[in-house]
Structure 1
Amino acid sequence: MATISKTSSPDRDYTAEARYYDPANAFDFRWPRVPRRQFLAERDRAFDAGTPTALIPLDASDALATPYPATTPSLLAQYVRLRRGESLACTQRASGEVYLVMHGAGRSRSGADTVAWSEGDLFCFAAGQETLHAAADEDSLLFCVSDAPLVAFQGLAPSDPGDSMIETVHWPADQIDRHLATVYTRERTENEAGRAVLFSSRALAPARNILPMMVAAINTLEAGGDQRPHRHNGVAITLALQGEGVYS
C-alpha cells in the first residue's frame, strides 16, 4: 500500500504539532471494547427475497467509535446481495477483499481478472479498484470481508494494480470439501485445536494468511462433538453456514 502524501511549507512550525503526556501510569489507556454482536437484522435483510441488489455492511462503528464502517477494529464484513441477472459494482479502500459464496452462481471481475463462482466457493481480489459482481439466473448471496478499517485507521491507500502482494485466488467448493474430508480421516490427538481448513495463497503461504493481517478458515464439528476451549489473539468473525443446536 502507498501512503497518502501531504504537502508542507518551509515556514511551518512543526513543533506546534507535538503533544506530550506524562501520566502516572502510561498503560492506563483503553480502546473501545469490541462488542459481541450477532448482526441478526443484517442477516435477515440479506436472506429476505424482497431485498434488492445491495451491499449490507455489518457495521459496529457506533460501539468502536470509528468514523468509518467497521465490524472489528481492523475488518469490515458485508453481505453482497445480488438479484437474479443483476450486477453490483463496488470499490473498497482496502488491501484485499475476500468473498464466500453462500448461495447462487455468477461472475466477479476486478481489473483484468474474472472469477466464475458457485455456492461454497471462496475467492479474493486485491482491493482498491472497482469490483463488478454479476449473478447468473438465480438470486445470489456473497459474504465479503476486507481490511478496510485497518487501511483507513492508518491513513493509507491501496496498492496500485499489479503492485499488490495479494493475488486473485479461487478456492472451489469441491476442493474445500476434499480437504475437509482429509481432516475427518485424520486421527484425533490431544494437541488438536479443531477440525479446520485454512486458506492462503502462494504469496502469503509463509504466514498461512488470506490477507496480510487476516486468517480465514472453515471449521467443522461432528454431531455431538465440541471444540476444546481456546483463546483468539485477534477478534473473530464467525459465519455459521450449516447446523442446528450449535453454540459458542
Structure 2
Amino acid sequence: MSAVAETVFDQPQLWEAQAEFKEYMSAVNPAMPKIDVVAFPNTMHADGATRLMPFDLSESLQTGYAATTPNLYAGYLRISAQEQLQTDFVAASQMFFVISGSGSTTMDSGIIAWNTGDLFTLPAIKSALHEATTDSVLFWVNDAPLLRYLGVTPSEQRFQPVLYTQQRITEELNKVRAMGENRNRVGVLLSNPHFPTTMTLTHTLWSLYNILPKGVMQKPHRHNSIAIDHCVSAGPDTYTLIGKDIDADGNIIDPIKAMWTPGSTFITPPGWWHSHHNHSEQDAIVLPIQDAGLVMNMQLLDFQLVK
C-alpha cells in the first residue's frame, strides 16, 4: 500500500480517537474557573514611565491568553506628556476612559481628541496610536479574550468610533437628576445607534455612568454579566458590598467590601448580589463596563433588584 493510501486510511482512526463521552448528571454543571472580586488600585498608574498596565488574570481563569474576565481584557494606560503609546488589540470592541490628562488617538479612520472625563469606543481596527499633550492615564477594556476563545479575527467593523465627552455625559446626567432623587439608580446608559435592540455601548460592551449621591445606599441587585467597575470619583467610606446570596430581608450574606477609590477598579462576579453605599458628604461616580452587550443579545442578562 502506498504512503498516500496509508495516510488516508489512518485519518478516520485519528478522528474517532478524539471522541469523548461524559455522563450527563456528572458533567451538566462543570467546575468552571472561579471569578473573584479583585481590585486594581490607582497606585498602579500613579506615576512612572509611559506603559500599558494590564489586569491579566489568565492564570486563575485558566486561559492560554491574557484576560481579565472570560470575555474581556482591561487595564490602564499611562502616557507621559508629549509621548506616544500604540495599542494593537485584536478586538471587535474597545473602550477607553480618560482618567486624567489630555491628548489624541490616531487610527486609519481619523483622529479623536480627548480630555479628562471623556470616553471613546473603537471598532475592530489594526492599531491605534495614543499621544498625550499632558501626563495622561486611561482606563481601557476590550473583548479580545472573546475572540481568542472563538479562534476568530474580526472581518468587519460593526460601528464607527464614538466620542462621549465629559460635557455631554454631565449634561445627560443632570437631566436624569432633575427627574428627582427618589430613584434607586441615577445614571445614564452610554449607547450606540448601531445597536438599537440592546441599546449598549457596542455589540459586546455595556456601560453605565452611575452617580451615587452622598448619604445614599443603592439596594442590592444582580445580573449575569461580569462587571469591571471603575471609580471615577468618591469621598471616604464609599464602597460596594458583594456576595453570592441575600437573606429574607434582602441583605447580602457575608459580603466582600470593595472600596471606591478614585482612579481604581474592581471586578464584580456574574450573578453575585451587590449594593452601593456612600456614607460621605460627596457624590460619587462609578463607571461599570460589562460584557452585557453580548449577554443582552442572548437574552440572558437577568437583572434583578431587591425591592
The TM-score, its normalising length taken from structure 2, stands at: 0.71
Q: Which residue of 1 aligns with 2:295?
A: none
Q: Which residue of 1 aligns with 2:19?
A: 18
**Which SS does the other structure have where 2:35 is aligned?**
coil
How do 1:92-131 and structure 2 match up within 5 A?
92-131=89-128
5+ long unaligned stretches in structure 1: 1-8
**Which SS does the other structure have where 1:72 is aligned?**
coil
Cα distance in structure 1, aligned partners of 2:44 and 2:30: 37
Cα distance in structure 1, aligned partners of 2:59 and 2:126: 27
Contact 2:193 2:199 in 1 (8 A): no
Contact 2:87 2:127 in 1 (8 A): yes
Instruction: Point out the structure with the larger strand share.
Output: 2
Cα distance in structure 1, aligned partners of 2:25 and 2:158: 43
**Higher Cα Rg, which structure:** 2
**Which SS does the other structure have where 1:36 is aligned?**
coil
Cα distance in structure 2, aligned partners of 1:24 and 1:106: 55
Cα distance in structure 2, aligned partners of 1:28 and 1:208: 31
Q: Which residue of 1 aligns with 2:38?
A: 37
Q: Deviations over 1:7-51 (max 9, x none)?
A: xx97743334332222443323121110110023xx312122xx1
Q: Which residue of 2 aligns with 1:28?
A: 29
**Which SS does the other structure have where 1:177 is aligned?**
helix
Identity of aligned residues (%): 30
Q: Does residue 47 of structure 1 match 2:46?
A: yes
Q: Which residue of 2 aligns with 1:152?
A: 148
Q: Which residue of 2 aligns with 1:184?
A: 177
Cα distance in structure 1, aligned partners of 2:8 and 2:157: 34
Q: Give every structure 1 segment of 4 or more consecutive aligned residues whose post-TM-superposition deviation is greater than 6 Å.
A: none
**Which SS does the other structure have where 2:81 is aligned?**
coil
Cα distance in structure 2, aligned partners of 1:56 and 1:243: 23
**Which SS does the other structure have where 2:210 is aligned?**
strand
Q: Does residue 139 of structure 1 match 2:139?
A: no
2:158 counterpart (137, 155, 165): 165
The TM-score, its normalising length taken from structure 1, stands at: 0.87
- The CA RMSD over aligned residues, in Å, is 1.8
Contact 1:60 1:69 in 2 (8 A): yes
Q: Which residue of 1 aligns with 2:290?
A: none
Would you say how many aligned residue pairs link Structure 1 and Structure 2? 230
Cα distance in structure 2, aligned partners of 1:172 and 1:16: 56
1:246 counterpart (220, 226, 238): 238
Cα distance in structure 1, aligned partners of 2:174 and 2:127: 36
Q: Which residue of 2 aligns with 1:232?
A: 223
Cα distance in structure 1, aligned partners of 2:209 and 2:73: 18
Q: Deviations over 1:79-137 (max 9, x none)?
A: 1110000001110011111110111111101212210111111101113411100001x
The one-letter code sitting in structure 2 at the alignment partner of 1:108 is T
Contact 1:102 1:140 in 2 (8 A): yes
